[in-house]
Amino acid sequence: GRALLAGVIGDPIAHSLSPAIHEYWLKSYSIDGSYVPLHVKGPRFADTIEELRSLGFRGCNVTLPHKERAFALADWRDPAAEATGAVNTLVFSEEGIKGYNTDVFGFSENLKATLDPIDNYIDSCLVLGAGGAARGIIYALQLLGARQIFLSNRTHEKALKLAHELQSLEGDASSISCVPWEEKETVLKSVSLLINTTQLGMVGQPPLEISLNSLPKTAAVTDIVYKPLKTGLLEAGEVRGARVADGLGMLL
């Protein structure tokens, strides 16, 4: 009855690498515990959390499509969760359920480790996509000190809405400009970091179609997709001579 229990909740969940990663660490540090994948549909999320708490789970990770539900359920949230409206880690404590967003930390630590020195790349960023992942990533870029953030999304209105919400968070620290999806290549020449936050390029999804011909060779390219590890976008970035950072580091 002392084994530490935790897991990851999502729908789908079979693709998740989190159980393998956590089981590795449990074993490496000789921790008596287990970390399991939990396939849970949307309407069952809140009940499942209650069940896990009553079974003695210490907490769980939360992935698509439950990050906003986890946010709503938490009694306390860390600043990154408050800023992004998304929670990917729930800790069950005596004071209640604590909600954390480690995506923001994961994204920026991976960039700092891979694109060293990060100050060379952070000045002017182009973010593709305006979904839940983009929200955390733009917030991370603001914290890293980005001066100019271009935001381009297939549905332009979503980009405008996200820019408006995030602009007011960090005041004038970084300016966010929305670029229509069809015109995203026109800003590439003044970009030091290009980030794909959409699922385009993932196994089973359409490719991300963008020409990097005008991207400066001194720029860097990163992708949150990690299946395949080297996406079409990262391959194109390498051909262009840019530095690249893959998406696995953020997950780790």
Active site residues: 67
Choose, by CB under 6 A, the member of 198, 233, 234, 247 that binds ligand ATR.
198
Q: How far is the CB of 33 from ligand ATR (least distance, A)?
A: 29
Quick check: 216 binds ligand ATR (CB under 6 A)?
no
Quick check: 129 binds ligand ATR (CB under 6 A)?
yes
The 156-195 site mask, x for binding ligand ATR (CB under 6 A), equals --x-------------------------------------
DSSP 111-176: HHHHSSSGGGT-SEEEEE--SHHHHHHHHHHHHHT-SEEEEE-SSHHHHHHHHHHHHHHSTTSSEE
Choose, by CB under 6 A, the member of 79, 145, 206, 241 that binds ligand ATR.
206
Pick the closer one to ligand ATR by CB: 130 or 220.
Answer: 130
Show the tokens assigned to 5.
């229990």
Quick check: 131 binds ligand ATR (CB under 6 A)?
yes
Quick check: 153 binds ligand ATR (CB under 6 A)?
yes
Residue nearest to ligand ATR (CB): 131
Quick check: 207 binds ligand ATR (CB under 6 A)?
no
Site residue total, ligand ATR (CB under 6 A): 15
Choose, by CB under 6 A, the member of 199, 230, 235, 251 that binds ligand ATR.
199
Residue 244's DSSP bridge partners are 221
Those residues with Cβ within 8 angstroms of residue 1's Cβ, 6 or more apart along the chain or in another chain:
56
Burial class of residue 64, CB neighbours in 10 A (0-12, 13-18, 19+): middle
Burial class of residue 196, CB neighbours in 10 A (0-12, 13-18, 19+): buried
Window of 96-104, 142-150, 151-159, 242-250 that interacts with ligand ATR by CB under 6 A = 151-159
Instruction: Tell me the residue type at 118.
Output: I
Q: How far is the CB of 211 from ligand ATR (least distance, A)?
A: 16
Closest CA to 136 of 173, 102, 159: 102
Site for ligand ATR in 61-90 (CB under 6 A): none
**Contact residues for ligand ATR (CB under 6 A)?**
129-134, 153-155, 158, 197-200, 206
